[in-house]
Amino acid sequence: MSLQQQITELESQLQGKSPAAALQLLSERFKGNIVFSTSFGLEDQAISHLIFSEKLPIDVFTLDTGRMFTETYSTWRSTLETYNQPIHAYYPNAEKLQFFVTEKGPNSFYESPDNRKECCGIRKVEPLKRALKGKQVWITGLRAEQSPDRQSTSQLEWDEGNQIIKFHPILHWTWDELNNFIRENHVPYNSLHDKGFVSIGCAPCTRAIRPGEDFRAGRWWWEDKSNKECGLHVHAEPGVENNS
């Protein structure tokens, strides 16, 4: 069966299912080969709740870039305390990071898009590839409402760069629906969300958004707003074939 046929079959099986039911189905079908990446933002906390409260066999991991907010580490701790389930941490390659910072300085990402993307590559993209190696399904907290680039994203897609199927269980949730879920289920969340932060990444690269700004305005705000991605998420390649 081709890869596209597998994805089409999965899409049919997931059609109409709630995020919880969809995660249950995928966790059973891909047991041992399905992972969820959390950055402890509101979206990811909602998905962590769905996984941890039902003790689904989905490994949860985070990418600790070394430049995260204190509030993010506090959310990490409170999540562990609430659910008593493991969250695996992946870190940047020490040698590559040391060379980059020594050569260009600790805040060189402000100086050019290339420097910023290199920093993201070392701190996030390469550790992610290690975390996803050998896995078949990657669960993410992407929502279509987050940016124009994500409006056309499919809930189930093939990530060519990481050679993995991606599933976005809350892709079509609105910001209000997400907040209601967090509140109703008493899910621990990052206190920065109460201060105008809607998207939370590394501390030097994230700010609160102003009234009327879009969801991604607080990320890498000093750059051209047309390219507000770090390389973790690439667009699916339609029609990709695989002989496995």
Strands (E), 131-228: 137-139, 156-159, 164-167
Cα–Cα dist 98/142, whole Å: 31
Q: How far is CA 224 from CA 42, 67, 112, 220, in A?
A: 25, 22, 11, 9
- Helices 113-120, 94-104: axis angle to 10 degrees equals 160
Question: Could you tell me the strand order of the sheet in which 34-37 lies?
Answer: 88-90, 59-63, 34-37, 137-139, 164-167, 156-159
CA-to-CA distance for 79 and 90, rounded, in angstroms? Answer: 17
Q: In whole angstroms, give the CA distance from residue 53 to residue 207.
A: 31
119 catalytic? Reply is no
Q: Alpha carbon 80 to chain centroid distance?
A: 18
Q: What are the residue numbers of the active site?
A: 230
